[in-house]
Amino acid sequence: MEVEGRQGIAQLFDTPPLPYEERKIAVAPGGGEVWALAVDTEDALLDYLEMFYKLRRAGSALSKMGAVDFATTIAPGLRDVLLTGKACEVVKRKEKKQENAYDYVILDAPPTGRITRFLNVNGEVSGLAKVGPIKSHADSVMSVIASEQTAIHLVTLLEEMPVQETLDGVTDLEVNGLPVGGIFVNMTRPPQLDATQRSMAIAGQLPKSEIENEISQSGLMATPQLIDALLTEASDHAERVDLEITEFERLTQRGLPIFVLPLLPSGIDLGGLYELAALMTASGIGEE
Amino acid sequence: MTLDIDAILTNPDKHIIVCTGSGGVGKTTTAAALGLRAAELGRNVCVLTIDPARRLAQAMGLTELDNTPRAVAGISNGSLSAMMLDMKRTFDEVVESHSDPERAEKILSNPFYQALSSSFAGTQEYMAMEKLGQLRAQSQWDLIIVDTPPSRNALDFLDAPARLGSFLDGRLIRIITAPARGAGRGIGRIAALGFGIFTNVLSKLLGAQVLADVGNFVADIDTTFGGFRERADATYALLKDSGTEFIVVAAPERDALREAAYFVERLNQDSMPLGGLILNRVQEVPETGLTQDQVLAAAQKLTAEGEGQLTSALLELHAQRMEIKERQKHLAMRFTAAHPNVSVQPIPALAQDVHDLAGLREIGEALANQGITW
C-alpha cells in the first residue's frame, strides 16, 4: 500500500497508475501474488463513513463541497488515522476469515523523520478528541499497529545523516511503544578492496608499477590516464567503504536485525525488484 | 544548460532562495553550502532550515539550532547566520502579535488551536513562509536561504493563502460556527437543505467537542484573521517576486527525479521563479578512452589467469562506476528532455560526509563549478 499519492508502486512494477482499488501487480514463483493499493484520503474517508455509519451518499455530497479537505484541516490527525485505518481494515480481514485477505500487508510509510507521528495516531487525535468516534477509531487502529502483528522496518543509506536519523527514529518509535522490526541498509557497495589494500589506497601507496605490468598483461594499454583513474577511484572507494563500515557498526550497536541490500548498478526496475526480493529471501527475512 | 549559481548568489536584487526537493537528496546540506558560499561572496545571509541533522549544525560550528538566527563564526567577507524553524513557537508569535493579550491567551489554550499549531498538515510549510516573511522584514540580512520540508506537500505553502481563505470564509465553517455566532444569519439555504446532514456527519467524524472548539477558535480569531490573510498574501507575492529564486534539489535516481519533475511542474504552474536543478551524488568517472566492455574483459582475463587480484579489482571498480554514471546520465537526459528550460548543475558524490565549514565550502565550489564535465 502506498499513501502519499506518488504512484511509486505503479512505476516500479511497470503498470498503469493505480486507482483506489486493490489490483494484482505481480506473481512469484511458488504461486505467491502481490496486490497493490494506492490509498487516497478522500476515498478512505468515504470507506470509513460507509463501514461505520452507512453514510456513503452523505459522504459523497460532503466530498463535493470540499468537506474532506475541510475535515482533515480541522482534525490534523484525521488524515493519518484514515490512511492507517485503511491498512488495519485490510489486515483484519485475515482473522475475520474474509475472502480478500492477505498474508502480509506492507505499507510504504512517510519518511523516517515523520514515521512516529504518522503511526502514533492515538497521540495525534488525543489532544483533539478525548472521546468520540475518531478516538475510538484511533484506538482500534492502534490495537493493530502497536501489536506484535506489526513490524516497523526502517530503511537507510550508509551515510552519517541518514544513519543518525534512523537511530533517532528507532528511539522515537520505542519511546512511543511502537514495535520496531529491523533496519534495511540500502544501496551498499560491496568492497572491492580488502582492509590492507584500502589503507594503502588512501595513503597513495598502492604498488603502481605492479599495476602497470598487470594492466599490460590484461591486454589494455597502461596509459597514465588509466593508471591515475584507477588509483584515484581506489582511494575514493576506500574512503567511502571505511565510512560505510563505521556507520554500519553504529547501526549494529542497536541490536536490531539488519538486512543489507546492494546498490544495483543498473538501477531499480521490475527485474531489479525480483533480484532484491531473492536476496531478502536468502537472508532469511520472513522466517520468524 | 548548466546553472550559474554564483550569478544568482552575487546578484544584489536576489533576496530569497528556496531549496525544495524530496527527502534524502542532501537538500539541507545544499542550503547550508549555498549560504556559506553567498556569505563568502560578500552577502549577509541567513539560512532557515526545517529539520537539520545535528551534524549539520555542528558542521557550522553551532552546538544546536533554534528559532533565533545564530551567527556562524569563521566567515571571511560577508556574514552567515543559521536557524531552525520552531513551528509552534512561530505560530504562537503570530497569534500574539495580532491579538490583545486576553484574546491571545484564549486562543493559545484552545485545544483545536494546539492541534492546529503543532501538527496541522501544512502548518510547517506555512510557518516556514511566515518566518521567511519576518526575516525579510528585518534589514539585517540581504539574502535568506530557506529549505522546505521533505514531503510531497512541501509546496503546500503556495496554496496557504487560498486554503486559509477558503477555510475561514467557507460555507462549512459558517455552519459549524453557527452556535458560537448565534445561529441564523449567513447559514441561508444550504442550512435549510442540508444542515442536518452536515452537522450529523461532521460530528460523527470529529465529535461534538471538537466542533465546539473549532467554533470558539474561529470566533476568537475572527478579528485577527485579517492579519493572517494579509501576511499569507504578502508572502505569496514575495515568493513570486523576481527577488526570489527556487532551486530544486534531487539525486540521479528515478524516484528523486520524478519528485523533482513534480516540483518543477508545480512551480511553473504558479509562475514561480525557478533557478534550476541541483543534482547531488553524481558519479564522476575519469576519462580513459576505454569502454565498459573493454575494462570488464581485461579484468576477466586477469581473473581467469589467476593473477593480478588487485588490478582486476581496480578494473572492476572502474567498470562499475562507468555503468552507474551511464545510468545516471540517462536519467538526467530524460529529465532534461521533458524539461529543456531547467538548467541542471551536477554535484559529484563525495567520498566523505560533511563535518565542518571546509566540507561545506567544498560543496559550494562544486555548486559553482561551471566546468564539471559529466
- Does residue B310 sit within a domain? yes
H or E stretch at B277 = strand B274-282
C-alpha cell at B274: 525557478
Residue B238 has pLDDT above 90, yes or no: no
Beta-carbon separation of B299 and A218 below 8 A: yes
Using the Cβ of A127 and the Cβ atoms of chain B, whether some distance falls under 8 Å is answered with yes
| Confidence tier at B182 by pLDDT (50, 70, 90) | very low
Same-domain pairing of B184 and B98: no
- ipTM rounded to 2 decimals: 0.79
| Confidence tier at B70 by pLDDT (50, 70, 90) | very high
Same-domain pairing of B140 and B195: no
Quick one: which of B183, B169, B152 has its CA closest to A70? B169
Contacts of A124 in chain B (CB under 8 A): 119
- Mean pLDDT in chain A? 87
Residue B181 has pLDDT above 60, yes or no: no
A154 Cβ contact list (under 8 Å, min separation 6): A112, A115, A166, A169, A170, A180, A182, A183, A184
% of chain A exceeding 70 in pLDDT: 89
Q: What is the CATH number of the domain that holds B262?
A: 3.40.50.300
Same-domain pairing of B149 and B14: yes
Nearest to B54 among A45, A69, A164 (CB): A164
Tell me the C-alpha distance between B116 and A68, whole Å.
16
Same-domain pairing of B184 and B100: no
B64 Cβ contact list (under 8 Å, min separation 6): B54, B57
Q: Position of cell 562544486?
A: B366
- Does residue B236 sit within a domain? no
Q: What is the tens place of the pLDDT at every residue in A85-125?
A: 999 999 999 999 998 899 999 999 988 878 888 898 776 66
Q: What is the mean pLDDT of residues A202-230?
A: 95
C-alpha cell at B216: 470558539
Contacts of B316 in chain A (CB under 8 A): 192
Contacts of A243 in chain B (CB under 8 A): 351-353
Residue A73 has pLDDT above 80, yes or no: no
Q: What pTM, to 2 d.p., does this model score?
A: 0.81
B235 in Cβ contact with B133 (< 8 Å): yes
Domain total for chain B?
Answer: 3
For residue A286, give the DSSP letter.
Answer: T
Tell me the C-alpha distance between B37 and A247, whole Å.
29
For residue B195, give the DSSP letter.
Answer: H
Residue B225 has pLDDT above 70, yes or no: no
Same-domain pairing of B218 and B266: no
Q: What is the tens place of the pLDDT at every residue in B123-172?
A: 777 788 788 888 998 889 999 999 887 666 667 666 665 666 666 666 66
Residue B13 has pLDDT above 70, yes or no: yes
Same-domain pairing of B273 and B184: no
Same-domain pairing of B69 and B215: no
Q: What is the tens place of the pLDDT at every residue in B43-66?
A: 999 999 876 666 678 778 887 788
Out of A61-75, A111-125, B313-327, B342-356, least confident range: A61-75
For residue B370, give the DSSP letter.
Answer: T
Same-domain pairing of B39 and B74: yes
Beta-carbon separation of B317 and A130 below 8 A: no
- Mean pLDDT in chain B? 83
Using the Cβ of A14 and the Cβ atoms of chain B, whether some distance falls under 8 Å is answered with no
Q: What is the pLDDT of residue B191?
A: 44
In terms of residues, how long is chain B? Answer: 374
More confident residue, A77 or B293: B293
Same-domain pairing of B135 and B63: yes
Q: What is the pLDDT of residue B311?
A: 96
Beta-carbon separation of A234 and B112 below 8 A: no
- Does residue B233 sit within a domain? no
Tell me the C-alpha distance between B238 and B129, whole Å.
10
The neighbour count for residue A61, using CB atoms within 10 Å, is 16
Same-domain pairing of B147 and B81: yes
- Does residue B237 sit within a domain? no
Q: What is the pLDDT of residue A259?
A: 94
Using the Cβ of A237 and the Cβ atoms of chain B, whether some distance falls under 8 Å is answered with yes
- Does residue B231 sit within a domain? no
Beta-carbon separation of B209 and A117 below 8 A: no
Q: Which residue of B has its CA nearest to A218?
A: B298
- Does residue B374 sit within a domain? no
Q: What is the pLDDT of residue B6?
A: 96
Residue A231 has pLDDT above 60, yes or no: yes
C-alpha cell at B229: 490573510
Q: What is the pLDDT of residue B99?
A: 83
Same-domain pairing of B40 and B149: yes
CA B34 to chain centre: 14
Range of the domain at B320: 292-327
- Does residue B229 sit within a domain? no
- Does residue B249 sit within a domain? yes
Same-domain pairing of B61 and B108: yes
Q: What is the pLDDT of residue B189?
A: 43
A161 Cβ contact list (under 8 Å, min separation 6): B29, B53, B55, B56, B353
C-alpha cell at B218: 474561529
